[in-house]
Chains A and B, each alone.
Chain A
Amino acid sequence: MIPEIDFLRKIYIFQDLVDQELEFIAQIMTPREFPSGELVIEEGKQGDSMYVIAEGEVQVFKSLTMKFGEDDFRETEKTLITLRAEDHVVIGEMSLITEAERSATVTAQIDSTLYEITREHFLNLAWAKPELGLKVTLRLAELVSQRLKKSGEDVIRLTTALSIALSQ
């Protein structure tokens, strides 16, 4: 099962690539099957691959509070989003450039197929085709900066809420 070029073009980080470059990307993608309920990635675990939903639907959990010893707030304080293939979103894209802990848990909601790109494959391709690598990396950088801006705003909102809560 090889991803279609038209499908890849709709993905945010690949939007600048030309058809030929998209074919290279398609070649490094490996389809993987996840039966309903199976973990795709787990929050806090190291990861070195990125996923694109080809078929099916996944749920993304992100905990909003820290875990302190026995007091586990994670059970209650979570956000939950359901993502589908039509959303054309990528999951765990940060793993393409850095080896970091996963920031959310993703499980398959129904039997799903996801394309996997490992960091090794991506970096090899990027070094071989620097132009392709630059285009994708720029989009990744854009995503990171957007997210940074948003989390900065979140911090301001939270500190405001905190000071309101404590002022009374």
Chain B
Amino acid sequence: MNIGAARAFFKSGPFPVIQEQEHLGFRTPARSRNAAKRRHGQVPSPYQLDVETKFDIMGHRGFHGRDRRPHTRDITNVKIDLSKWMQTYTEAFKALQGTHFFRVVTITGLLIILAAMLMFVVEYPQEPVAKGVWDAIWWAIVTMTTVGYGDIVPKTVFGRIIGFGVMISGVFLVSMMTATIASVFVSQRIKEGKGLEDVRDRDHIVVCGWNEHGNSVIQGLVNLLRPRIPVVALVNELPREEVDAILYRFKDIQFRFVRGNFTKEEILARANIKRARAAIVLADASGHHPIEAADERTIFGALAIKSMAPKVKTCAELRNPENKEHLRRANVDEIVVRGEQNAAILASAAAATGLSTVMKLLLNVEEGNKLWRVRLPDRFVGRTVGDLNTFFRDKFSAILMAIVTETSAIRLEDIMSQDATAIDDFIKRKFEESGKDFFSSGKGRVSVQINPPFDYVLTKNDAAVVLGRDRPAEASLLEKSLDFVVGGGRSEEK
């Protein structure tokens, strides 16, 4: 199920396939083919030549060809590091707001101005060492911060008394400032490690609960969402060492950790669930919860998530298929029962050699051929699956596996007529009076056609799922000048 959860959590669709042009897949034969070539020194067969050539062409078209990857990755890493630093400072600044840091800063500022003015008034008539008010302020700052350059020095008795006061208060105030900043950083570290820090991110993924498949789920997320991996917030009751192990294992991911029981609303609120992109509820075995009772907690957790954030896509893992109904009532978007696919794989393994391996490879999220969900550009609307199939085969060496049709949810405005009538008012008022939310939690319907018939005409609600080595780059799909041959030599318009 592990991969299932990762996969299903993805955008929408109750189908066991990927999302938004991310991958699942199996090892491409390319590597072994090359190896074979090297071993036997043979001339590549026409098929191989064909494939390799296409691969090159695609590389030039801005594909994420394998050979280009290291270069791309370097650049991305630098960016991530920079943004991490930026974030650390922004967070520290936010954390300082809760302390008396800014009060100390204000008092220091006021004292500097006051001391500078007094000093100027007292000194200037007798010993004009400070040439003006700015010099006096400069002196006050230098003295206050205990730097004491000595370029401007009070000479009169009164001036020195003022200087003494500034020195003493400077020692106190500056050390207070330093201490506050330091303590904020330290307490943040401690809180993070303990899972006491509140999550402030948006569009993050909340992973509730943990079990032995948790690492695979995270790995799946990494592989499917690369290169833009969102922040992942873990909500569970794992001991410190295990959390550290997860954090260490997935260094590419920015983790947030909230320690606590995810069935409780306040814990979910700390994970900022309302702003999350998606939530995964795993059958929880963390914090001495028996895995046998996991379904119960999954249901409570999913209910809590859906009541707090009805729009957040929620995917839940079940152990017992009988509990599906509860989750459906909770409006959970995706329900994955652990081991559900095992029966099919076992049966096919016995029935036909190789079939089970194909299934397993298709479900694999590691490197290699993967399933990708591709949004269709507008120009395919009104054309047939046959055309699309040819397009993917010729341009991306990808096989069209399925068509995903998403129909959007009904909104109250869709029912209303253009000119608000008495009946419109009535309907609107009645829905408001009922106090229930009939619309915002309403989900669009998602239907999947595996191996769609070639004469099916595509609509704007359709997306394609293809099996291919690389993600069919959206840029090339949208490229207007791309004139490809469809069917019997008909060329693409535009």
Contacts and interface: CB of A to CB of B under 8 A. Distances in A.
B433 to A, nearest CB: 10
Given A164-B438, A165-B438, A157 B415 contact: yes
Contacts of B422: 62, 64, 79
A168 B328 CA distance: 12
B436 interface: yes
A136 B256 CA distance: 76
Interface stretch (B121-129, B132-140, B193-201, B424-432): B424-432
B353 interface: no
A154 B423 CA distance: 7
Nearest to A161: B427
B97 interface: no
Contacts of B416: 157
Contacts of B45: none
Contacts of A164: 410, 415, 438-439, 442
Nearest to A153: B417
Contacts of B417: 153, 157
A15 interface: no
A161 B426 CA distance: 11
B434 interface: yes
B421 A161 contact: no
Contacts of B410: 160, 164
Interface string A110-154: 000000000000000000000000000000000000000010011
A158 to B, nearest CB: 7
A79 B415 contact: no
B431 A77 contact: no
Contacts of A157: 415-417, 423-424, 427
A168 B430 CA distance: 15
Interface residues of B, number: 18
Contact of B426 (A79, A153, A165): A79
A158 B431 CA distance: 12
A153 B416 CA distance: 10
A168 B438 contact: yes
B310 to A, nearest CB: 12
A165 B437 CA distance: 10
A79 B422 CA distance: 6
Nearest to B426: A64
Interface in A54-108: 62, 64, 77, 79
Given A64-B422, A150-B421, A168 B427 contact: no
A155 B431 CA distance: 17
Nearest to B423: A154
A164 B434 CA distance: 13
B65 to A, nearest CB: 48
A154 B427 CA distance: 10
Contact of B436 (A79, A150, A168): A168
Nearest to B429: A77
Contacts of B423: 64, 154, 157-158
A157 B425 CA distance: 11
Nearest to A155: B423
B438 A77 contact: no
A88 B425 CA distance: 25
Contact of B431 (A62, A150, A154, A161): A161
B425 A79 contact: yes
A168 B436 CA distance: 10
A167 to B, nearest CB: 8
Contacts of A161: 415, 427, 430-431
Given A150-B421, A157-B424, A165 B434 contact: yes
Contacts of A62: 422
Contact of B427 (A79, A150, A153, A158): A158
A151 B345 CA distance: 56
A150 B424 CA distance: 12
A73 to B, nearest CB: 11
Given A79-B426, A165-B434, 9 more contacts: A64-B422, A77-B426, A153-B417, A154-B423, A157-B416, A158-B423, A160-B415, A161-B431, A168-B438
26 contacts: A62-B422, A64-B422, A79-B422, A79-B425, A79-B426, A150-B421, A153-B417, A154-B421, A154-B423, A157-B415, A157-B416, A157-B417, A157-B423, A157-B424, A157-B427, A158-B427, A160-B410, A161-B415, A161-B427, A164-B410, A164-B415, A164-B439, A164-B442, A165-B431, A165-B434, A168-B438
Interface of B: 410, 415-417, 421-427, 430-431, 434, 436, 438-439, 442
- Closest 3 CB pairs between A and B? A79-B422, A154-B423, A161-B427
